[in-house]
Structure 1
């Protein structure tokens, strides 16, 4: 067992959660669904870093929360609407799209979305 575990269990958990978060960030773009990504990350912690399975799954859950904390969950597609009075909101997690009237969005919000 690693020296860090013996000296400070909290420090060990923080370090292993950081390792899980780093793995998630590196592999999230591989178009895996969230459950597959979580399983793969858990397997990485267990096999590569010798984290106990019960702890690895909990650390992955916490790291996933960190990963999605503050992440954009909605996008705005200004060009895809059928006319200039409609825009499409996009749920970036699920890919679902919703057509909404442009008039209900503030000019500042539209300007910021157009700048991206």
Structure 2
């Protein structure tokens, strides 16, 4: 039973490492999910000596978790204004206040912005 617990702890730890890597590097691979997957798998194999088959499985599970995290964060319209956007994560109990000017500067007006297009209101 103790060996099973150790195995589950190891897998959870390695899945958390995969999730952290995915979170850190997802912006570098917005158009190519397979490249991000391969980098994450290689990271687990080279940095933590994880078997490739296990790294593939753990990367897939971490990606599912990453997608779930992205969909639970919500825009709070009651507290947002013309100049500040409020985003909350009800599961973690976190709330972020982000100036619209920062969103424009860092995302919309960024030199590497190739995915977002302007629209006419």
Q: TM-score, normalised by structure 1?
A: 0.55
How far apart, in 1, do the equivalents of 2:69 and 2:12 lie?
Answer: 20
| Number of the residue aligned with 2:27 | 29
For these two proteins, the number of residue pairs brought into alignment is: 73
Alignment RMSD = 2.5
Distance 1:6 1:50, change over 3 A: farther
Note the C-alpha offset of 1:31.
3.0
Decide whether aligned partners of structure 1 residues 56 and 6 sit closer, same or farther in structure 2, where only a CA change above 3 A counts: same
Could you tell me how far 1:70 is from its partner in structure 2? Answer: 4.2
Show structure 1 runs of 5+ residues with no match: 73-94, 98-116
In the alignment, the residues of structure 2 paired with residue 6 and residue 70 of structure 1 have an alpha-carbon distance, to the nearest angstrom, of: 28
Larger radius of gyration: 1
* Cα distance in 1, alignment partners of residues 5 and 63 from structure 2: 27
For 2:41 and 2:69, the matched residues in 1 are separated by: 23
**Is 1:11 aligned with 2:9?**
yes
CA contact (8 A) 2:19 2:66 kept: yes
CA contact (8 A) 2:45 2:55 kept: yes
Q: Distance in 1 between matches of 2:69 and 2:6?
A: 29
| Structure 2 unaligned blocks of 5 or more | 72-114
2:48 equivalent in structure 1: 49
TM-score (norm 2): 0.53
